[in-house]
Structure 1
Amino acid sequence: MKNPLTFARTALASLRASIDAQTESVRAMERSVAIAAEDIAAISARQDALLAELRRQGAAAFGAALDLRGTDAARYRDPLSLTHAPGQVYSQVNEDGILAEIFRRIGETNRQFVEIAAGDGIENTTRLLLDLGWSGLWVEAGDKEAASIRAVAGSFIDSGALTFIDSRIDRENVRSLVAPNVDPEPDLLSLDIDYNTSHIWRAMDFLRPRVVCIEYNGHYPPSVAYEVPYQADGAWQGTTRFGASLKALELIGRDKGYSLVACDGHGVNAFFVRDDLCNAQRFQAPFTAEHHYEPPRYASVHMRGHDRHG
């Protein structure tokens, strides 16, 4: 007959082994449940993102359809129209394509640019021109954006093709910052500073670019001339109150000797060509806000195709 103590120990060991096995089984099940929960959360998040994108695209398509109901489609079919010129490499929308077509028509000279509010150097108006051998000046005040510029455009800065100024622009300092660093007649000026855009352009009487790409406030009707009051430290607060309407920019351009030749189809940027280079054989007339206005279609602003490269 077995020793009762030995029997008890054996039974206890067997019970412990069974408990350990069951505990490990429970832990394995808990790990499986946790992994499944993470997978479900990831799938749910992906579904939410896809639904949000579908809603955005649907809203954009609906808005565009409503816009087109009141649009003269013949204006877009005109061979001189620039609104939907194809091309988007670094630009927010199709500025790359519109500028390429403008310079195809008027030619290039010194292949220099000035971009004020150059962003992060990955998405902006003139980065493609750097890749194509142009040179110029970027001005940007944002800390994160400046760090990105130094990282992604360092080789251009080192080679001297790009001058980068990390500073906020206002009417008082724009001449001292820009004039010493660029030819007085560069091929292109790009302005997108959200708030004081029109005031800075008006103050740049020392510069005579051949082409100007400038952000406008499409919320205002094309016949309304509106500018926000100048504030040296003014900043966009995410509302409809920013910059200047297309008509205001048309009038400023006219005073400076420029004609409005196009807006991109998203209602973000307006394009001006110097009067000595502009005529009705090269660009679509009349050169007015009423003719070239595009309403804001910000919901449709996105990168088509592959992501941008740095």
Structure 2
Amino acid sequence: MTSRKQLDRIAQILEQQIAQNDDMRAALERSQKEVSLVQLRMLSFHQRRNLLPNDSAALQKTCMMLWGLSKTTPLDHKDLLNSGFRVFSQGDEDGIVLRIFQKIGMANKVVVEIGSNCDDSDLAIPENISSNLIVNHGWHGVVYELDSTECQRIRHFFAQNSVTKHFHSDSMSGGYISPLIENVEVTPENIDDLLRANLSVPEPDLMIIDIDGGDFAIMESMQAIKPRVLVVEFEKRFRELHSVVQRSRGDFGKYYPQSGAASLSAWNKLLSARGYVLCSIATTGFNAFFVRADIAAGALEPVSVRAAFDDHPVLSNANTLWVEPDETWSEF
């Protein structure tokens, strides 16, 4: 006959098993949630990269061939806007850049990018404009980034990528490395020295600068190179109404989420004096594309700052986005 003590022991064992099952069930539910989260992150990652995967070189080159057949006359800013797509870029800059170079040609396939990170990637994939050209189109690149952790992540990506791993080494010792990832703060004082140390061509095909403040002063100071195409970040909230610059990097984003530290009108004044013409802005309204006038002639139609906003599918319909410059901005 089973004693009371034995019954209590059996009940205790059953309770422990139930508790263990509950723990296992809870652990399983947690695991399922984690798997779902990873799947959602992967989905959002692909959404952020948009329609073309990161190894879409053949499809991109087919696009470039079809672009060449579809229009033989000069492209205007609407043509460029309609050509945008994302691969590695934050917005649709990858497609616009390719459309520009399909029209003007690639002279040396060298790109310089100041400011880059992997912040918007769960897989430590760079989100910038140079990576698509390097990975899918065989370009050589020099990337400058202040954050050492981001530099390590970017180096790791290129050291593992099936295309660039043959030219890249995490050790950075000996051999030819492409792209070069330079962990350094770029300033108006050192920009020319850095470029001379890392570039063998005085007129690289493309230069991008995006460091959330300080961009304008660096471009004012730069004399060492004359890129064929420039991509710069501008503050869209001023439309074409104000030619202003925010000189202190500490003021960036102080009062509202900024898209740049110089208005598009200010950039247009600075770069037109250096022989560039504005050709388009990106759909997201963060970046502007300037091409040297001697290269754009007969291939790309310049656009005025006002028309860039008036013809933009989103910004032309915005009524509450615009602001007046505050005390952190100065006229240019």
Give the TM-score, by structure 2 length.
Answer: 0.68
Q: How does 1:31-42 map to 2 (within 5 A)?
A: 31=23, 34=26, 38=30, 42=33
Contact 2:243 / 2:264 at 8 angstroms: preserved in 1?
A: yes
CA contact (8 A) 2:116 2:126 kept: no
Alignment of 1:94 onto 2:98: no
Asked whether the 8 Å contact 2:206–2:228 carries over to 1, the reply is: yes
- 1:147 and 2:152 are equivalent in the alignment: yes
Matched, 1:224 2:216: no
Distance 1:243 1:169, change over 3 A: same
Whole-Å Cα distance in 2 between the matches of residues 118 and 240 of structure 1?
19
Change (3 A) 1:24 1:192: same
Kindly state the Cα deviation for residue 179 of structure 1 after the two structures are TM-superposed.
Answer: 2.1
- 1:262, 1:271 within 8 Å by CA — same for their partners in 2? yes
Alignment of structure 1 residues 1-310 onto 2, 5 Å: 10-24=2-16, 26-28=18-20, 30-31=22-23, 34=26, 38=30, 42=33, 81-120=79-118, 122-131=126-135, 132-154=137-159, 155=165, 156-158=167-169, 159-182=176-199, 183-230=201-248, 239-240=256-257, 242-279=260-297, 281-285=298-302, 287-293=303-309, 294=312, 295=315
Structure 1 contact 186–210 (Cα < 8 Å) conserved? yes
Q: Which runs of 5 or more structure 1 residues have no equivalent in the other structure?
A: 1-6, 54-76, 298-310
Question: One-letter code of the match for 2:101?
Answer: F
Deviation at 1:29, TM superposition (A): 6.1
On the 8 A contact 1:81/1:284 being kept in 2, the answer is no
In the alignment, residue 285 of structure 2 is paired with which amino acid?
Answer: G
- Cα pair 2:252 2:261 within 8 Å, conserved: no
1:128–1:195 distance in 2 versus 1, CA, 3 Å? same
> 1:178-202 deviations in whole A, cap 9, x for unaligned?
1232111111111111111111112
Shift of the 27–181 alpha-carbon distance from structure 1 to 2, 3 Å rule, reads closer
Contact 1:219–1:240 (8 Å) recurs in 2 = no
How many angstroms apart in 2 are the aligned matches of 1:248 and 1:292? 14
Tell me which amino acid in the other structure corresponds to 1:106: I
**Hey, what's the Cα distance between the residues in 2 that align with 1:148 and 1:192?**
18
Q: CA deviation at 1:240?
A: 4.2
* Superimposed CA distance per residue, residues 132-186 of structure 1 (whole angstroms, 9 cap, x where no aligned partner): 2211311111122111122112334443332222101111111111123211111
Deviations 1:94-119 (A, max 9, x none): 11111111011111111111111132
Is the 8 Å Cα contact of residues 86 and 94 (structure 2) preserved in structure 1?
yes
For 1:106 and 1:37, how far apart are their aligned partners in 2? 56
Structure label with greater radius of gyration = 1
TM-score by length of 1: 0.72
Give the root-mean-square deviation of aligned CA atoms: 3.3
Uncovered stretches (5+) of structure 2, i.e. residues with no partner = 45-74, 119-124, 160-164, 170-175, 318-332
Task: Check whether the contact 1:95–1:125 (CA below 8 A) recurs between aligned residues.
Answer: yes
Q: State the distance in 2 between where 1:207 and 1:122 align.
A: 25
Contact 1:219/1:296 (8 A) holds in 2? no
What's the CA shift string for 1:214-257, capped at 9, x where partnerless?
Answer: 111112122311110255x7765583454111111111111111
Provide the C-alpha distance between the structure 2 equivalents of 1:194 and 1:115, rounded to a whole number of angstroms: 13
Aligned length: 258
2:144 is paired with a residue of what secondary structure?
strand
Identical aligned residues as a percent = 25
Are the counterparts in 2 of residues 88 and 94 from structure 1 also a CA contact under 8 Å?
A: yes
Match for 2:79: what amino acid?
S
The aligned amino acid for 1:291 is A
Partner Cα separation in structure 2 for residue 210 and residue 37 of structure 1: 55
Q: Is the 8 A contact 2:77 2:308 kept in 1?
A: no
Q: Distance in 2 between matches of 1:36 and 1:194?
A: 43
Q: Distance in 1 between matches of 2:92 and 2:292?
A: 21
Structure-2 separation of matches of 1:140 and 1:82: 28
Shift of 1:296: 11
Which amino acid in structure 1 is aligned with residue 96 of structure 2?
A: I
Amino acid at match of 1:193: I
